[in-house]
Amino acid sequence: MSIQTNLLEIKNSLPKHVTLVAVSKTKPVSDLQQAYEVGQRIFGENKIQEMTEKWEQLPKDIQWHMIGHVQTNKVKYMAEYVHLIHGVDSLKLLIEINKQAKKHNRIIQCLLQVYIAQEETKFGLNEAEVLEIIHSETFKSLENIKVVGLMGMASFTNSEEIIQNEFITLKNIFDYVKPYQLTNCSFEILSMGMSGDYKIAIDCGSTMVRIGSSIFGSR
Ligand SMILES: *Cc1c(COP(=O)(O)O)cnc(C)c1O
């Protein structure tokens, strides 16, 4: 099936409160253009350089989401345009994003990445670390970032039960922090779910799914 058919089918199947991030990493600009033609305006990339090259070539009403691990020294390359950074996993990174956002007179939206999978390799914070960050005086002083939610990735497994438990864990953390509000912090977005597990994620309370291969084909 074509990119446009895949995209529209998935989009039409999502509940209204769930936002679709079309994950276009490794795919050529022409593939993104096809998705754009049928109305897709939110794209997710996991490498800053690749995202910037695509941003330069494509229409400026696209919202670019950085979904990969972010190295502090590369934030400056996307600070001018990035719409939402999903994988924020340290106060140090927030400080750098704040610094680079300030140079462009912007407020950059961020999600805190929470570690929910059983695998050792996934990045992210635990609940205590999330709380430590958002309650710190340093965090409160950051005027050019806004934490708008949480992001997580489930284990790579065939067990729906494991995946479901991990998503429920993240939803519980989300519900726990949600009442906490600051000028630069308001938990509205729960980013969880990819091609293989987005339906489970939505059942567990996801408000934003990141779908790549089911739209653009395998990588
Ligand atoms: C690649 C990626 C996705 C999309 O994965 P698919 O299985 O292709 O849908 C979602 N989230 C993150 C963080 C990714 O790196």
Nearest CA to ligand 1 atom 6: 212
Which ligand 1 atom lies nearest to the CA of residue 214? 9
Q: What is the pLDDT of residue 11?
A: 98
On the CB side of 136, CA atoms within 13 Å amount to: 14
Listed residue (176, 111, 101, 115) closest to 143, CA to CA: 101
Q: What is the pLDDT of residue 213?
A: 98
**31 CA distance to ligand 1 middle (Å):** 16
> Which portions of the chain are predicted below pLDDT 50?
none
Which ligand 1 atom lies nearest to the CA of residue 151? 13
Amino acid sitting at position 186: S
Q: What is the pLDDT of residue 119?
A: 74
**210 CA distance to ligand 1 middle (Å):** 6
Q: How far is CA 166 from CA 14, 27, 119, 172, 181, in A?
A: 21, 29, 12, 10, 25
Which ligand 1 atom lies nearest to the CA of residue 196? 7
Listed residue (29, 39, 44) closest to 4, CA to CA: 39
Listed residue (53, 51, 80) closest to 68, CA to CA: 51
**Which residues contact residue 89 at a Cβ distance below 8 angstroms, ignoring those fewer than 6 apart?**
69, 112, 113, 123, 124, 125
Cα gap 23→35, rounded to integer Å = 11
Q: What is the pLDDT of residue 94?
A: 98
- Choice from 65, 210, 216, 219 to test ligand 1 binding pocket (greatest atom count within 8 A of CB): 210
Cα gap 161→164, rounded to integer Å = 5
